[in-house]
Amino acid sequence: MTTRYNIKESEAKWRKAWVDQKCFEVKENADKEAYYVLAMLPYPSGRIHVGHVRNYSLSDVIARYRKAQGYNVLNPMGWDAFGLPAENAALERGAHPADWTYKNAAEMKEQLMSMGFAFDWSREIATCHPGYYKHEQKMFLDFLKNDLAYKKESTVNWDPVDNCVLANEQVVDGKGWRSGAPVEKRKLNQWFLKITDFAEDLLSGIKSLEGWPEKVRIMQENWIGKSQGLQFKWQVKGSDTEIDVYTTRPDTFFGASFIALAPDHPIAQKLASNKDGFDAFVKKANQMGTSEVDIEKAEKLGFDTGYKATHPLLPNKELPIYVANFILMDYGTGAIYGVPAHDQRDYDFAVKYNLPIQQVVETGEEIPSSSDGTIINSDFLNGLSVKDAKAEMIKRVEALGTGFGVTKYRLRDWGVSRQRYWGCPVPIIYCDDCGTVPVPENQLPVELPLDVTFDKPGNPLDHHPTWKQTTCPSCGKAATRETDTFDTFFESSWYQFRYCDPRNEKIGFEKAKSDYWAPIDQYIGGVEHAVLHLLYARFFTRALNKCGYTDIKEPFTALYTQGMVNHATYKDEAGNWLYPKDVMQSHNGAWVKVSDQSPVTQGRVIKMSKSKRNTIDPQDILDTYGSDAARLFILSDSPPDRDLEWTEAGLEGAWRYINRLYRMVVEANINISDHVSADPEDIKSIDKEMRSLTHQTIKAVGDDIEKFHMNKAVARIREFSNKIEEELDDLTPWVLSEAVERLIQLLAPFTPHLAEELWHSIGHLTLLADQPWPKYEETLFETGEVTIAVQVNGKMRATITYPKDADKATIEKIALSAENVIRFTEGQQIRKVIVIPDRIVNVVVG
């Protein structure tokens, strides 16, 4: 008779037990060390996808492992509930964003719960709930008071047909995604947070983030982009105008051949607004998205103002002043000088407009080259290195009094205004007499009205009949509300603190509680958040610091970035994308449609996306294979930081393994009562080997989990269980039962339901989820012998085995007498023998 594991019944039983016994609900407890593991909160898009399963399987392993180690583990979950997709759903199918969002969240919660993740659901949050965003409105007011928020003009993508602002992703090939109209740039007055106040602190703080991947630290460093440069004035010939120019390459000063201004630079307007063709040029420059990619990849165009600037150090040299579409008012001073010989972009520009190209750095490469070298053709800088020339140039210009050395950052202030409905209202009132007035704290939250319509383009808040009409808190006269809402990165910048005190109605979070849990010991999420979200959250924490909310400076002590989940794509004969569940392999291996057996072509393996229909619904997996199989597969094959290819075959493999383990343990009839006969002195050599493996595996799996090598941990566990299975009949019962009990404990973070089932099947009465992590004894690792390879001229020729602690001479002797080594050294002179004990022997002959 075959023993069968009833996955559905068993998994449901243990999930219920964990919930009933509130296994994963936690409170502050001064006697226990806190461990805060956090997976990035999901956007409630509808149903969970495999990427979520991957993310939360990882946090679950960590949560269960740390709990077993004795920590008080906080592992919360919630919803990043504001954002564009809800408004798109409203436009496309008339669903109200609030209904749509809450319904999605409820559905996803049910799915996540059926995965058995060890979340503390009592702390669930939804960022679109007034009880949540009320506090961030208060934070914004505190930022205002502390001079961390201000208003200024900035550029947005404008759709002239739909009369609305477009997100960068809504601009497709320079056109609005819905209207198809060419996008225009438009200036709006918007709210900004002063992240640049913390540029230096955010930069230097990166050094302390030792638990972060190096790649993310480098990306943030580059994003902040600290540069030392020179800012100085150029005189416009025949005018009293001076142009402020910033450069990071003052060493190439003598190679300058033109000046370029941003199209919206005030001086550009002043010099060129009456010139023929300028308006057309500016118009064309404005017909480009605001994204950096668009700007950088667009054809570089210039408009010659006809004016010249006098070179400050070469009175006879005059440089033409251009207006150029690739110069941004937001960067530096909105004006540059071009050095074609040492910058690709300047070079292209100079060639196009026939401007002089003067090499001033001998780099040993063809121009244009921005490499290091020695300065030439540059008067007093000649012979200097690039570094020294920069310093010398700054010194000279400072002496002249026309400029100064200055540190600048690429980082720009964070624009938080969005002209959208489904976001947190900015708590500001505009009064004709009093100007910009913050909403008084006792009037918070400024709630989003739910009775809005989406029949007109633009922001529903703006055309709501009454919502924006209010009275001025300061003078009492009629006034209007700010109709912009916050960027959704606002919500995700502080939620890690809210989880510490999620139901507090008075304040965002109590300091004592956040001090107990925060900062986050392990944060886990996609690498696509490497810069923006993570940098904003780091800034926000500093801003909260300044406003007295917390003393914590860095919110995330350790970070792990997981890879994407990919899947093969399928197309039918007509070229339509097909879902994986609608295709199958026929007996000859060819892919066909399930419905009518018509041929299907398999395409590339790419990121799961609805448009390519290469998605897997985790619900189908749960229904067929259960939660453990899904988790085990997703954790076992690929290292978590790399992309994962989801395959049905891999999933089935995991499922088979689960059944096999169940059979092995149940059929072997193992019971913990066997432990009573334990006598370590009186055991066979196979028992010693098994104990050695058992204890080595405990160590290895723990080490692997801590390094996020989940795939290796699973491989270790499989090797371990393979060995147990192999020796099942030959092991002394207590050694076998020790091995099996440890195996079950090691499985717990990966396949918690199965582990719980087996734990009880061997005689335990309490939940495995509450048990401590097993200990190992290093003294049991020893086997007494060492096997290493012997090379001849670097090629592997033999392996030798010798007693541990043999000396070099002995090892050399054994190596040289190995049969195959003799064969390859015979008749040749042995020039050298390299012996690295316990690692390798290399015999060099010839």
Write out the binding residues for RNA, residues 440-479 only, by CB under 7 A.
none
Residue (656 or 684) nearer to RNA, CB: 656
Q: Does 505 bind RNA (CB under 7 A)?
A: no
**Span 31-50, contacts to RNA by CB under 7 A:** 43
Tell me: does residue 80 bind RNA (CB under 7 A): yes
Return the half-sphere exposure (C-beta side, CA atoms, 13 A cut-off) of residue 281: 24
Helix (H, G, I), strand (E, B) or coil at 55: helix
Query: Does 162 interact with RNA (rule: CB under 7 A)?
Result: no
Residues, the chain: 846
> Tokens in use for 10?
């068993």
Parallel/antiparallel/unpaired status of strands 34-39 and 522-526: parallel
Answer for which of 101, 290, 522, 697 binds RNA (CB under 7 A) is: 290
DSSP state of 40: P
Indicate whether 157 belongs to the interface with RNA (CB under 7 A): yes
CB of 568 to RNA, least distance (A): 10
Q: Is residue 346 close enough to count as binding RNA by CB under 7 A? A: no
Question: In this chain, which of 142, 521, 637, 738 binds RNA, going by CB under 7 A?
Answer: 637
Does residue 85 touch RNA according to CB under 7 A?
yes
Q: Are 162 and 169 in contact (CB under 8 A)?
A: no
User: Could you give the angle at the alpha carbon of 257 between the alpha carbons of 254 and 259, nearest 5°?
Assistant: 110
Measured CA to CA, the distance from residue 613 to residue 576 in angstroms comes to: 9
When asked if residue 168 is in the footprint of RNA (CB under 7 A), the reply is: yes
Q: Is 789 in the site for RNA (CB under 7 A)?
A: yes
Q: Binding of RNA at residue 529 (CB under 7 A)?
A: yes
CB atoms within 10 A of CB 76: 26
Torsion of CA 619, 621, 627, 633, to 10 degrees: -140
In this complex, which beta carbon is closest to RNA, that of residue 21 or of residue 189?
189
* Count of C-beta atoms within a 10 Å radius of residue 224: 20
Interface with RNA in residues 695-724 (CB under 7 A): 703, 709, 711-712, 714-715, 718-719, 722
Supply the minimum distance, in Å, between the C-beta of residue 263 and RNA: 17
219/434 with CB nearer RNA: 219
From 207, 503, 506, 832, residue interacting with RNA (rule: CB under 7 A): 832
- Choose one: 116-124, 268-276, 360-368, 837-845; the region binding RNA (CB under 7 A): 837-845
Work out the burial of residue 626: count CB atoms within 10 Å of its CB; fewer than 13 is exposed, 13-18 middle, 19 or more buried: buried
Residue 139 or 629: the one with the smaller Cβ distance to RNA is 629
CA 246 to centroid of chain Cα atoms: 33
Residues touching RNA, count (CB under 7 A)? 102
State yes or no: residue 53 binds RNA (CB under 7 A): no
State CA 801 to chain mean position distance: 47
Name the minimum Å distance from CB 138 to RNA: 22
Contact pattern from residue 213 through residue 232 relative to RNA, giving x for each residue in contact according to CB under 7 A and a dash for the rest: -xx--xx--xx-x-------
Contact indicator for 16, 114 with CB cutoff of 8 Å? no
Candidate segments 361-369, 501-509, 622-630, 652-660, binder of RNA by CB under 7 A: 652-660
- Tell whether residue 571 is a contact of RNA (CB under 7 A): no
Rounded to an integer, what distance in angstroms lies between the CA atom of residue 719 and that of residue 732?
A: 20
Which tokens go with 843?
């015999």
Does position 6 interact with RNA (CB under 7 A)? The reply is no
Hey, which residues between 96 and 155 contact RNA (CB under 7 A)? Answer: none
Residues 6+ away with beta carbon under 8 Å from 623: none
Which is nearest to 332 in space by CA: 231, 242, 252? 231
Find where tokens 């001073």 sit.
Answer: 333
Q: Does 412 bind RNA (CB under 7 A)?
A: yes
Question: What is the Cα 520 distance to its own chain's centre?
Answer: 15
In this structure, what DSSP letter does residue 153 have? E
Binding pattern for the stretch 353-372 against RNA, x by CB under 7 A and - elsewhere: --------------------
Site for RNA in 250-289 (CB under 7 A): none
Query: Smallest distance from the beta carbon of 251 to RNA, in angstroms?
Result: 18
Residues in 594-613 at the binding interface with RNA, rule: CB under 7 A: 606-607
Q: Which stretch binds RNA (CB under 7 A): 238-246, 253-261, 498-506, 633-641?
A: 633-641
* The pairing of beta strand 644-645 with beta strand 830-836: unpaired
Beta strands per DSSP E along 573-702: 577-578, 583-585, 591-593, 600-607, 644-645
Residue from 144, 391, 527, 666 binding RNA (CB under 7 A): 527
